Structure 1
Amino acid sequence: MLKNQSHAPVHRRRIGITLAIGVLVASAIAVATPAVAAMAAEQSSLDAAPSSVETAAAAEAVTAGRTALTDAATAVVAAESSGLDLGDASTAVDTSGLLDAMDELDDVDSLTALELPVVRVQATAEITAVTTQTAELHARQDAAAAEKQAAEAAAAAAEAEAAALANANTPDGARASAAAIAAEQYGWGGGEFECLNSLWQKESGWNYQAYNADGGATGIPQALPGSKMASAGADWATNATTQIRWGLDYIQRAYGSPCSAWGHSQSVNWY
């Protein structure tokens, strides 16, 4: 009895400690529960699947990315095979970043609602970069093509001009030029041209290189000195049409018409 009485206080203390521990644990759980719940909710949000809207936007980005890659490849092949001088800058388009982004977008099922928008935005930026480079390459090629076309046109025009000059410098070409200028600028018809033809056939044979060693008369109209014809053009020594323009002006001022000049030449053997 005494033994039992002596042990009763110890037993009550242990029960008290156990109850206290239980209260503390319950309190700790009560305090921790909101934080744990918040963490669980946050983790659930992180792991959530992307919305249908975001998935559709990602699919559009994939389509745009493939188009950008195709356009870039086409532009590079066209530039490299064009044979045009595109300068020292590279004809390559850097698509490495876009390819990496496309790889991530292709694995869309593994991306969460938080991850997919980030990947999509990055892909969009890479698409813009590739599209910009492609446009710049197209612009360089277009500029080079335009420059080449202009050079070819200039060369063709120069060739045509040279051919026309060569033709006009022949006696028949010079006659044709003289007849046209006489009619257009002075109103002199066929009769006046017959006189002109006779006059200059006698003077030079319609040879723009004719030169009279005795007096120095030069060219088709036999200008004396030949440098007088510079008033009609700096190319007077090499262009029959320039000589003709000067000669017709001289005839108009000095004689009024080719037939008057021819009549004078027949009378005194010069004009």
Structure 2
Amino acid sequence: RRNRHETTPPRKRHRGRPFLAGALALGLGASGLAYAKATNIIGADTAAFVVGSGVAAQTDELARATTVDTTYRAAASVSRNERRTAIAATGLRTAKELEAKQKKEAAKQAEKAREAAEKAERERERQRAIANAKEDPKSAARVLMADQGWTSDSQYNCLVNLWTGESDWRWWAENQSSGAYGIAQSLPARKMATFGSDYRTNPITQMKWGMWYIKMSYGNPCNAWSTWQARSPHWY
């Protein structure tokens, strides 16, 4: 039995074993390569790698995944390029600016459509009033006044008063003493022929001539009405 205070000498390491293992591995590798060359598995100058079926399957799967990824990236790139092209074409810098501009254009187009619809409705009302001029000449006159730029209620009221005093808005009215004729009491009646040969039966022709005469002589219906009131007997 050893004394517990006795020192155990260190064991000697066998340094030759790693070298032997390395040499053995190198020899086995060389033998395998020589056998492969001898049996024509690989060429004399080519290194051979035997790939198992599992590795081959993984390689195919990786190739398919790569193809899908490439296709997706290509599609995304096209989408980005189209967006960039659209942005560049408008001189804008971001998709947000492009969207804002598109909304603004849409609002502008909607406003144009609304204005066009209102204009079309006014034209329909105009045509209805003109077609009904014999039954309601005052409404037709209101429509025709806009052609002269007389759109205020005051000008309309002056015209109503003026022609009420002249003919009471009767298109067939004729002054027995002077021969003045129609709603506007043209003297002589044939003056209205410059606006249509139907001046004796068409209130529109009569009113068009009457408004032209007022504009040329007085500027507007209120001036003509004031002059009419100041004269005795009344005339304009």
User: The TM-score by the shorter chain falls in which range?
Assistant: 0.3 to 0.5
TM-score for the superposition, normalised by structure 2: 0.43
More helix by share: 1
TM-score for the superposition, normalised by structure 1: 0.38
Which of 1 and 2 has higher RCO (CA within 8 Å, sep 6+)?
1
